[in-house]
A and B are shown apart, each in its own frame.
Chain A
Amino acid sequence: MSKKNPFKIIELTDPILPETLKENIIEDIIESIEDSKKDSNAEGSDSGLDTNNT
């Protein structure tokens, strides 16, 4: 009988992760998407002002 690969034995196969981990990740991503939208809107407004000024 062949031995089981020890690299496989030391791998955690079914860790229990808190549900909050997923929520935190999604929240962080949504937040960063919103921040980048705000930034790009702000840049858009700035360029509008620049155009009016010229």
Chain B
Amino acid sequence: MSLLNKFNLILVNVLPGNSKKDSAPLTDDELVLQIVETNNAILFGKLYDRYSKKVYSKCYSFSKDKHEAQDLAQDVFIKLFTKLGTYKAQSKFSTWLYSFTYNFLVNYKKQDTSKKLKERWERLNKYDYYLASEDDVDEDDLFELRASKLEKALELMEPADKALLLLKYQDNVSVKDIQAILNINESAVKMRLKRARIKLIKAHNKLKD
């Protein structure tokens, strides 16, 4: 029997009405627990249904290519299945998943051997020490940036900094949750955010209108 036939056969058993639990949708945490306990790929499909668009959007924001983003999203979900057991519910599942996705994307980008990209990161990173002593950028100033220019400025940034900014300002993850996810203290999170904000504004200001 082909894998897809098996897939369809198993799917019949999880269609609405065939399960007692369909009346009350599982919370993310309950669903994750069931997937981890049963190792059930079809249940994992439900988690995919909930988060595929978010994960794909994040992949697209790092690749800007539709097909590459789909391949990345596929790799993220396959890796996610094997790593679900490491989710300890210290933050919301969605927060943990976004961080997991960004980690994957940052590592993926690190493998990008494009010389031009490397040089650009090195040039920006050279100013790290200098940036730490610079005045912080007001969050309101970030929200004044034009979306089109912000997108281009983010392209110029090191993936880890870009991921941190997206986690904070796009996904609204709190400093406390970032602390838990990155396993660093509050002041370290704030310092990284401050550096990332300054780098973003610098990259933004270098762009022509």
Contacts and interface: CB of A to CB of B under 8 A. Distances in A.
Interface string A6-39: 1111111111011001111111111111000000
B56 A23 contact: no
Interface stretch (B42-50, B110-118, B183-191): B42-50
Contacts of B143: 3, 5-6
Given A26-B7, A26-B45, A10 B61 contact: yes
Contacts of B132: none
Contacts of B166: 7
Say whether chain B's binding surface is mostly helix, strand, loop, or mixed: helix
Contact of B7 (A10, A23, A33): A23
A53 to B, nearest CB: 33
Interface size class of B (residues with CB under 8 A): 35 or more
Nearest to B48: A22
Nearest to B150: A6
**Interface secondary structure of A, over-half rule:** helix
B70 A29 contact: no
A42 B144 CA distance: 61
B157 to A, nearest CB: 13
Contact of A26 (B42, B73, B146): B42
Contacts of B56: 12, 15, 17
Interface stretch (B22-30, B74-82, B122-130): B74-82
Contact of B41 (A12, A14, A21, A30): A30
A18 B44 contact: no
B138 to A, nearest CB: 14
A3 B144 CA distance: 7
- Which of A6, A21, A23 has the most CB atoms of chain B within a 10 A radius of its CB? A6
B48 A25 contact: yes
Contacts of B61: 10-12
